[in-house]
Amino acid sequence: MSLITMRGHALKPPLRPVPDKPKPDIETSLKIAKSGTLTALHTAPHKHILRFPVGAETRAFYRRFYPGTSTVEWNDWRWQMRTRIRTLDELSRIFRLSPDEHDAVARHQGSLPVGITPYYASLMGLDDPQEALRRTHIMTGDEYLRTAGEADDPLGEDHDTPVPGLVHRYPDRVLFLTTGTCSTYCRYCTRSRLVGNPGGEYQFSVRQWEAAIAYIEAHTEVRDVLLSGGDPFTIGDDKLDWLLGRLRAIKHIEFLRIGSKMPVVLPQRITRDLIRILRKHSPLWMSIHVTHPAEMTPEVTESFARLADAGIPLGSQTVLLKGVNDDPAIMTELMHGLLLRRVKPYYLYQCDPISGSAHFRTSVDKGLEIISALRGHTTGYATPMYVIDAPNGGGKIQLAPDPVVGRDGIDLLLRNFEGKVFRYPDPDGTLGRKHA
């Protein structure tokens, strides 16, 4: 019997018809799971809707600030890109700016301009300068302060750049900086020196891409390419298709990954056409930049579902930010929201000491406190790795609360998530032994 016949055989319907139970849609399922009335996650099969849903608050926002805009326009990612909030006038039209924000925006020159998609603005506190998402995207005077240990290129990426736009730090993988454009500009961006440069935002250079591809072709030890930027999804479908095709054709490349924030800040970018391209170059992996549970909207549920349904493993990256998400309850809600939407919480980053970012940086103790609040208290899948990207090219270093209490004879003494101490027989071990 062929495999196909066997599958057909196994999938034969039962003799007595079983009536279909009505199934909740995914948003209802998420609400039920969050309310605790379901012990196990129940997600209904994803409905293939052609248009993006529009959340109620977002709809009210665009009717107020973009009257006359149709839902089709609003859901067109190119319209969202063209209509980004870029100027002080536009910001002032939508937000009640504090004097500090107003002055900081007016002073700004150079890279990392203000840039916010209308969709993402609809999630922000229009009257509250302390609201979490707003703080991450509207600059304040703190951005102009410089403190000890900060640098424009804190990770020393420029030092590990053999050809423009390619960072080769780890032996078997490279970071391919595809573009300097993002749909939104995060005030804590590690690559603030590179992104959103005036006059050059939309420019990219195929010649630069060709040089990077030639480097990868010549370095057979490279098996993993991460496309980043800027945001690779700001690149048009044709060019992205071309780039993925060129990289996929390199025999020694096993992993192709894409890092993007657009499924969160411009979820409408995840179009059926884009999904077709991503499927064509399968297998791909994705890292999605997320910050706060307020981002988990019906639109984002849809963009994540499209990517997950395309068979792309999704992981998240979150930067720990003071006054934004440095709270165990907020972080737990975010991690649960991701997992329910089929995104594995992957990295929690200690904020890099980028110039002018002191107001965003927490102590490392705070990060460990958050990991302690997650570990053991919720499913392990919801616990990301907490890492410091070591300054000057040291790479990622993982941090975790130390469970080793000491040693008693042959027993290793370990503290569990409740603070209780347990013994593990470890006669050949030295871990926990006090140094003389």
CB contact set of 183 (below 8 Å; sequence gap of 6+): 80, 81, 84, 115, 117, 120, 231, 233, 234, 261, 262, 265, 266, 269
* C-alpha 327, offset from chain centre: 18
Distance in Å, CB of 180 to ligand SF4, minimum: 9
Sheet holding 404-408, edge to edge: 404-408, 411-415, 421-425
Of the pair 189, 320, the CB lying nearest ligand SF4 is at 189
Neighbours of 22 (CB within 10 A): 5
* Bridge partner residues of 62 (DSSP): none
194 secondary structure, DSSP code = T
53 secondary structure, DSSP code = -
Of the pair 118, 229, the CB lying nearest ligand SF4 is at 229
72 secondary structure, DSSP code = H
Distance, in Å, from the CA atom of 33 to the CA atom of 41, rounded to the nearest integer, reads 6
Distance in Å, CB of 13 to ligand SF4, minimum: 48
Distance in Å, CB of 34 to ligand SF4, minimum: 27
Helices 237-248, 272-280: axis angle to 10 degrees equals 10
Torsion of CA 290, 293, 298, 300, to 10 degrees: 0
Of the pair 182, 339, the CB lying nearest ligand SF4 is at 182
Of the pair 320, 340, the CB lying nearest ligand SF4 is at 320
Q: Which two tokens stand for residue 174?
A: 């490279």
Of the pair 113, 293, the CB lying nearest ligand SF4 is at 113
Catalytic residues: 169-170, 173, 182, 186, 189, 191, 352, 389, 396
Of the pair 174, 186, the CB lying nearest ligand SF4 is at 186
Let me know: does 339 contact 381? Beta carbons within 8 Å: yes
With 0-12 / 13-18 / 19 or more C-beta atoms within 10 angstroms meaning exposed / middle / buried, residue 376 is exposed
DSSP H or E run through 74: helix 71-74
Of the pair 230, 340, the CB lying nearest ligand SF4 is at 230
* Bridge partner residues of 411 (DSSP): 408, 425
Residues that bind ligand SF4 (CB under 6 A): 182, 185-186, 189, 191, 195, 229-231, 261, 289
Look-up: residue for tokens 């013994």? 423
Distance in Å, CB of 152 to ligand SF4, minimum: 13
Measured between alpha carbons, how far is residue 326 from residues 323, 365, 406, 412 in Å? 6, 11, 30, 33
Distance in Å, CB of 238 to ligand SF4, minimum: 22
**Nearest alpha carbon to residue 36 among 340, 382, 383, 344:** 340
Distance in Å, CB of 277 to ligand SF4, minimum: 20
Amino acid at 73: E
DSSP H or E run through 385: strand 385-390
